[in-house]
Structure formats: C-alpha cells, structure tokens
Structure 1
C-alpha cells in the first residue's frame, strides 16, 4: 500500500537550470516517502521546466510541477504553490524552501518536530553559533543583520531571522496566511508574521510560532534579488508596516463599537 505524503514542500523556481541538484532531490525522495514536492516554475526562460519534468518522470507520485506562464516573483510563486497543494493534495504540513537547497531538505523536514501542541508555524533561522555551519558572504550577513533588526523592531517581536527561506506550517493555518496576495515580491515573509499577529494577537501569535536555529546553511550562487532592490526594500517595509498598522487600527475600532 503506497504511503500518503504528510508533508508538502513548495519550491519556487526561476531560471534554476544550473542551481537545481538532481542528485540531492533524488536521494531525499528515495529516503522520505512521506514527503511531496511541488515545484513552481515561475515563468523561467531557461531550461528549468525541462529539468523539473525530468525529475517528475522519476518520482511521479512525489513530485508535481506547477508552471506559471509569466514571472510573478517569489511571493506569488510560493502562494500559488501552497494554495494549489492545499486544494489538490492531502497533507498535514506544508511549507516552502529555496530551490538551491541552502537549507537541506532533511533539515527542513525536521521542522515538523516542532509543530506540536500550540505550535502551528516553525521556521529556520541562520544563527551563527558553536555547533552550526552558516556560510554566507560577510557583506550579505552584515546587511542582513541590519535589515533583520529593523524588521524585528517594526514587528515588535523578538525574531532573529524572518527572511530565511525555510518555513513550515500546519495545513489549516497556511490556508489562511496565503489566501490573499502579498504587497512585496521578496519581503512577503514579513507579512506572514504580521498576518499571524493580526489573526491571534501578538502574545498568542508568539506562542504559536517557533524559530529553529539551523545546523547547516550554505549560500549557493547569486541571489535572485537585484542589487537595486536594496533601495525599494525600505519602501516595501514602510508599505507593509503602514498597511498592517491600518488593519490593526480598524480592527480595534470595530471591536469598540
């Protein structure tokens, strides 16, 4: 009797022809029959789709390829994949991971161990500490820490790393968090935290989330985020903060009526 996957992994792909490791995905799927991967081809212009279809042919019951006609950005690719999987497949957990596997698939699956009792959202964190291997260019690390600290401050919660592309949810909460489109193509992770806070309130949301230090994270290849986005990043953060502050204010007004 075939094993029904209980964990779906959405992997957004844009021009990943050289970044996708056939052997890593193959070895993982052989050893993890309870896992299902949904690759979302985000309008790639190289041979990404061809490569994904070759992988699917090998593991037809564990891989689905969702292909978007136009490049929509990481936020919409992830959202499309999660919504598609929630509608069409049975699973208990669903999350997303970067195609280059900077976080390994095996470590991603370990996030399930923390989804118990009240915890409905667990996420990897690139914390440099004794016993872990976090390989990242120092310039990106330093810029990342500035941005991360700012994000933590505007969210008003103590979170070290909102932007690590390794996040896992229970199916039920993912259906709510990914229902509506995100403001930013790249900072949608910040919106996920805002949505958690909006749904549960800050204190309750904190109890339902768990940040997990990764044992291994290795930066691979060039970032898909253009250097010029560094200027728009701050505008996106401002817009996200403004929108969710307005939502919180309106919610408060409605509750007082």
Structure 2
C-alpha cells in the first residue's frame, strides 16, 4: 500500500531508552498529521525497541520502526532509514533528526518552508545570537567551533555548522545523496556537503543549500560519540577530503568516463 506524505523524519536510535520523550513525539504527531517518523533502532542493547513500540501503538499510521540487527553507527542508520522510506513511501521531503530532540520537532519541520525554488537542502545551525537559546557545554562549544572552522575551510564554502543533526532534503536529492555508503560513522554530514558540491559544482551547490539559525537547541544527555573519537576525527576528515578531492579531479578530467 502506497502512503502519500508531506514530510518523513528519520530518527536514528542507539540505546535511547531514557532519552526518548514520548510526550514530545506524541504531541507533535497529533498536531502534524502530514508528518511521518521512521525510527531506526541501530542494534540497541537496552529497551529502546520496547519504548518505540509503545509510541507506535499510539500512532500506528505515523510511525514505522526499522530495526538493524547490529549497531552500524549513525551514518548507516540514517542512510538505511532514508533509503527504506524513499522506496516505501511517497513524500515531498525527508530528513533526519537526533532522537533526544535537542532540536525540537516543530523547528525541524519548519525547515521545509525553505525548500522551494532552487533550494533542495536546508539545515539547522547552532548559532549563538540574540533571540536564540543555544545551550551547550562551553568545552564542547569551543571544540565544536574549531572542528567546524576546519571543516568549512576544507569544503571551501562558508558554512557555520555542518554537524548539527537537523537536516531536511527534497526526496529527489536525498535519493542521490544517500545512495552510497559513507566513509565515517559520525562525520557523514561533511560527506553530504561534498556530495552536493560533486553533483552540482561548488557555486551551484551553494545556491541549492540554505543554513537556518535555530531558535532553540538544548544539549541533552551524554553524547554517543566516545572521547577517543577526538583523535580519529581528524583522520576521518583527512580521508573524506582526500576521497572527494580525488573524485573532483577525475570528473573534471575530460578523459574521465
């Protein structure tokens, strides 16, 4: 049976038993009948699946649970969810959001208001400014700014926050961006920007993306990223940069097929 939807939200979940707010999800779905949520249970070892099943019983037509047998990391969980939903459902927009709802569902769904004309990809940005509430540990904020500045430089585009877990796409572009596996389990967001540049060229890609400052972002719970990843992060960035620069050279070569 084909279900026609406006917006599908993929939520990767790994050991989120205590982090999922049933009331927030239920209230959102109640007021947004055109929205659909696909929870991807990424091989959780706690009672995440049981918590998700309770939610699904309340909203059987607006929730699907996709369970992966083993933990594959956020990148593959998101990719699996987006590819599954693109194949099974008809929707205009599809994106992903973190299960703890550091970005609210209401603000996430507003990203679709910007997907018009040339824009095919809109994403939230944790910019600290007057009128916004961005609650994050100072240590993580400063480390995040260092990493974000480095990423902006290697991408060679002016982007403030590539790593915010709040991104929305048109269905058509998502099918291209999530077709192939990502190099990194956690830095796949960087690869998404590289893939946009590879698809359209840098100048045109910039015109097709829009960064939206969030009004509210509240850090919740413990990060699923281990502290030791801080060392591997730089290696992943190097590998990502090397791969896509190589792809860029090959596609710019007139003899490349």
- Interval containing the TM-score (normalised by the shorter chain): over 0.9
2:251 aligns to what?
251
Q: What secondary structure sits across from 1:181 in the alignment?
A: coil
RMSD across aligned positions (CA): 1.1
Equivalent pair of 2:13/2:41 in contact (CA under 8 Å): yes
Secondary structure of residue in 2 paired with 1:142: helix
C-alpha separation in 2, matches of 1:21 and 1:87: 28
Aligned to 1:140: 140
Number of residue pairs aligned between Structure 1 and Structure 2: 255
Equivalence map 1:138-217=2 (5 Å): 138-217=138-217
Q: Is the 8 A contact 2:133 2:217 kept in 1?
A: yes
Alpha-carbon distance, 1:5 to partner = 2.4
Q: Aligned-pair distance for 1:254?
A: 3.4
Runs of 5+ consecutive residues of structure 2 not aligned to the other structure: none
Match of 1:92 in 2: 92
1:220 maps to 220
Q: Distance in 2 between matches of 1:133 and 1:51?
A: 29
2:226 aligns to what SS in structure 1?
coil
SS of the counterpart of 1:66?
strand
Q: Does the C-alpha gap of structure 1 residues 251 and 50 become closer, same or farther in structure 2, counting only changes over 3 Å? A: same
Pairing 1:88-127 to 2, within 5 Å after superposition: 88-127=88-127
Contact 2:250 2:256 in 1 (8 A): no
Unaligned runs of 5+ in 1: none
**How far apart, in 2, do the equivalents of 1:4 and 1:80 lie?**
20
- TM-score, normalised by the number of residues in structure 1: 0.98
Q: Which residue of the partner structure matches residue 13 of structure 2?
A: 13
Alpha-carbon displacement from aligned partner over 1:31-85 (angstroms, at most 9, x marks no partner): 0001000000000000000110111111010000000000000000000000000
Distance 1:60 1:216 in 2: 29
Are residue 229 (structure 1) and residue 226 (structure 2) matched? no
